[in-house]
Structure formats: structure tokens, C-alpha cells
Amino acid sequence: MGVTSSPSSASRSKIAIGATARPARPTRRHTGPGVGWAFVAPAIILLLLLNIFPLIFSLVMSFSNVSQNNGLTLTSATLDNWHQLLTDASFWDSLKFTILFVFIAVSVEYVIGFGLAMLLWRRIPGGAFFRVLFSIPMMLAPVAIGFMWRMLFDESNGPIDAILRQLHLGSVPWLSKGPDAVLAVLIMDVWEWTPLLFLLLLAGLQALPEESIEAARLDGASGLRVAWNIILPILAPISVMAVFLRMVDAFTIFGQIFLLTGGGPGTSTTSTTLFAFFQGFQDFNVSYGSTISLALLVVVLIIAMLYLAITRPLVRRIEG
């Protein structure tokens, strides 16, 4: 007689457990947009407080007069500050100097920065050393730069005039005559901020497709033609961005001019930011100083929008 064996109770329980067990579901992580906003909200609120509140306060002061007899108290609303601004020849002179300074300085900085980027684009001995060396002026404090160039341009003991006298070229009144002082300010700014455009353009050059350049060279194109017809059009987007950033920043120049020339001789190197400082903190006309600052903000916004409106179609045409 055959004997049939039945599975034991322990075996049946293991089978049952194996049949009912299911893989554990992964826990859901709440990664919606609300979580991201929760992380960045403190930084956004802090930036708004640091930027929006001073802007609103300056706007309020520009439409009122500030009494300093009992602290900073605002008087009734008025348009006197804006009317004075429109008829103030000193303000328009400072604005003309600022716009001329920005146009010349940024143009020269772009040309020199592009030349240096082209020079260090290819691997040359000591290329990394020269990249660091050319970047040093941008890393220095504005106070140090202003004092350094004031000593360099000193007409009695400065090394620049001493070298010129040794070469029998005569000394230059860098800080005592208007045109020479403007040139001194431009030289200082070009020395300081050319590295920014140099680094941005060098980064763009290093991302260029070398196939197009090599093909043009094989066709017999000269280096100048390659730079004009191939490299510059490809670099157009980054060039527009680099010039835009430098242009907006150049409108706010203050510390270097304040330490180098003090806005003089006369008012030949008085930028709009420096003029606003003189009105607000030397003449204690805080409301008028705020009005000048807001007017400069409006001018910068208009120039920036015009610049983008002109350059965007050009970039699209080149890319197309």
C-alpha cells in the first residue's frame, strides 16, 4: 500500500506567507513646486527687503522734502525736486559725462578683451599664468585701485610722469586739467574691467566648434577674415551679454572717481552717482539726491532696453 505524504504545517505556513507577501512600495516624496518655493522663499524675501524697500523710500523722498530739524521727517508731496532736476545744468553735465564715459570705456574694454582672448585662446607656454595675471585688476578693491592710480598719476612724484620726463616727452597734468583727468579716469577703468570681458569672451572662444574654423583655414581664409566672418558672428550672443553687463555696471561708477579726481578739476569728471552723493551727503539735500539717483535709474533702463532692442534682431539674424 502506497503512503501519500502531506506537507507539514510549517511548510504550508511558508507557502502562504510567500503567496501573500508583496514588495514594499517606495515612499512618496513631496517634491512639488511648493517645496521648491519654500526653500527659496527666505532668500527672495530678503532680496526684496534689501532692494524694493530702499527703492520705494527713495521714490517717496523724491516727491517730498526732508526736514532734518527733528530727524528725517517728510513734508507734503511736491514736484519741486523733479522740476529742479530738469533745469539743473550740473545734472545734465554729469549725465553727459557718464554716458560718454560708459560708451568709450566699454568699447575699449571689449576690443582689448577680445584681443587678449584671441591671444590666449590657443595653448601657449604660460597661458594659465597669463590668465590669472590679466584677472588680478578685477579682483582688487575699488578703494585700493583709486589710491593706486592717484599715486601713479601724481604730477610731482608719480612714476608715469617721471618716465615721460626721462623720455623727454614732458609731464602730463593728469589730475589738474579736464581732458587729461577724463583720460586718466578712462585708463583706470579700462585697466580694472577689461579682465571681465576678457574672461567672458575667452570662455566663449573655448566653446567654439573648431571644424568651421579649420575648414575656413583650409580654404585659404586669413586669420583676420576668420575672426571677422566666423568667430565674431558665433560670439555675438555672449558678446551682447558681456557688453550689457559691463555697460549697466559702468553707469554706477563712484568710488574710483571719488578717490582719483574727486569729480574734478571743476566738474569735468563728476559722474551722476558722484553728483547725487554730493547733493545728498555733502549739501544734505537728501530728497534731491534721491531724485538724481532715480533719474539715473530711468536713464539706465531706457538705454538698456534700447540696447537689447537693437542687438536682439542682429543676433537672431546672425544665428539664422
pLDDT digits (tens, 9 = 90+) for 112-135: 999 999 888 877 777 788 888 989
Q: Provide long-range contacts, Cβ within 8 A and 24+ apart, for 148-157.
A: 149/184, 149/187, 149/188, 149/191, 149/256, 149/260, 150/175, 150/259, 150/260, 153/184, 153/260
pLDDT of residue 310: 92
- Checking if the pLDDT of 11 tops 70, the result is no
pLDDT of residue 110: 95
Length of the chain (residues) = 320
Write down all domains in the chain, each with its CATH number in brackets. 75-319 (1.10.3720.10)
Mean pLDDT of 27-43: 72
Q: Which residues pair with 67 in a beta bridge?
A: 73
pTM summary value:
0.82
Percent of the chain with pLDDT over 90: 46
pLDDT digits (tens, 9 = 90+) for 45-94: 888 888 888 888 888 888 888 766 666 666 777 888 999 999 999 999 99
pLDDT digits (tens, 9 = 90+) for 169-197: 888 999 989 999 999 999 999 999 999 99
Compute CA distances 20 → 13, 17, 121, 233, 270, whole Å.
11, 5, 67, 67, 84
Percent of the chain with pLDDT over 70: 84
Report which residue type is found at 92.
Answer: W
pLDDT of residue 197: 95
Neighbour tally for 182: CB within 10 Å: 17
Contact in structure between 54 and 74 (CB atoms under 8 Å): no
Of 24 and 108, more confident: 108
Q: How confident is the model at residue 245 (pLDDT cuts 50, 70, 90)?
A: very high
- Checking if the pLDDT of 228 tops 90, the result is no
Q: How confident is the model at residue 29 (pLDDT cuts 50, 70, 90)?
A: low
Report which residue type is found at 49.
Answer: L
Q: Mean pLDDT: which of 30-39, 97-106, 140-149 is highest?
A: 97-106
User: Worst-scoring range by mean pLDDT, 26-30, 97-101, 312-316?
Assistant: 26-30
Mean pLDDT of 221-250: 85
How many angstroms separate the CA atoms of 281 and 290, rounded? 11
- Checking if the pLDDT of 15 tops 50, the result is no
pLDDT of residue 30: 54
Q: Which residues pair with 304 in a beta bridge?
A: none
Instruction: Name the residue with cell 616727452.
Output: 169
Q: Which residues pair with 71 in a beta bridge?
A: 69
How many angstroms separate the CA atoms of 173 and 107, rounded? 25
Mean residue pLDDT across the chain: 84
pLDDT of residue 99: 96
Dihedral sign (CA 111, 112, 115, 116)? negative
Of 36 and 304, more confident: 304
Of 215 and 68, more confident: 215
Cis, bond preceding 265 (omega within 30 deg of 0): yes
- Checking if the pLDDT of 272 tops 60, the result is yes
The dihedrals phi and psi of 122, each to the nearest 5 degrees, come to: -80, 155
pLDDT of residue 1: 44
